[in-house]
Each structure stands twice: as C-alpha cells, then as structure tokens.
C-alpha cells in the first residue's frame, strides 16, 4: 500500500496510506486532509484538489492530460509541478510521493 506525504501550506505533514488504483484526491479525502476539498468529486472541473508535486517525483507522476491542462491554466497559483490530485492514480511507483498544498487551500 503506497504511502503519500501531503504537506499543508502551514507545513503540517500527513502520511496517507493509499490504495493502488484510487486517486490521490480520494485517498486524501478519506483521511480528511485539510486543503483537499474536491468540490466536484473528482471530475476534473473544480480545481480544489490542486497539489504541487515534488520535483523529484514528476517523472513518476507524469504530466497533466488535455482535460486537466485547461483547469490548471485557470489557476493563478499554478507552478511547475502543479497537478490536480483527482487525476493522479496511485500505484506502487508512487510509494513515498511528496506533494505540497497551495496557499489558497489552507
């Protein structure tokens, strides 16, 4: 079961146990992580599950697709490593993944 490290904007760190095949957003919501609101339920249409993927993990996580890209483009906090956590599917290669949450989700 992969462990994901989620660091809130205030520096609070959470270790989240995630199931292979579920989204990172769902894993965070199930463990009630503050800062992942996921208002649209994971349909890539709200942007409230925004995370910054640690640079060391970008190759494993991969890039946003053509549906996620426009949502990220609308977010003023977008930076290198920005992804919507509902579009990240957990698998064993993400064991140890580190993501940080933006200021607006604090």
Instruction: Return residues touching ligand FES (CB under 6 A).
Output: 25, 38-40, 42, 44-49, 84, 86
Phi, psi of 24 (to 5 degrees): -60, -40
Among 17, 16, 53, 49, residue whose Cα is nearest residue 35: 49
Which is closer to ligand FES, CB of 11 or CB of 66?
A: 66
- Least distance (Å) from ligand FES to the CB of residue 46? 3
Distance between alpha carbon 67 and the CA centroid of its chain, in Å?
A: 16
Name the residue number minimizing CB distance to ligand FES: 86
- Least distance (Å) from ligand FES to the CB of residue 45? 6
């Amino acid at each position: 079961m992969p462990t994901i490290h989620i660091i809130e904007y205030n520096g609070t760190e959470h270790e989240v146990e995630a199931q292979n095949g579920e989204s990172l957003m769902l894993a965070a919501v199930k463990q009630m992580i503050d800062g992942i609101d996921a208002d649209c339920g994971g349909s890539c249409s709200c942007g409230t599950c925004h995370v910054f993927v640690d640079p060391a993990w970008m190759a494993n996580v991969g890039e946003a697709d053509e549906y996620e890209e426009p949502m990220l483009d609308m977010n003023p906090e977008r930076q290198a490593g920005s992804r919507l956590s509902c579009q990240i599917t957990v698998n064993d290669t993400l064991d140890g993944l580190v993501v940080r949450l933006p200021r607006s989700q604090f």
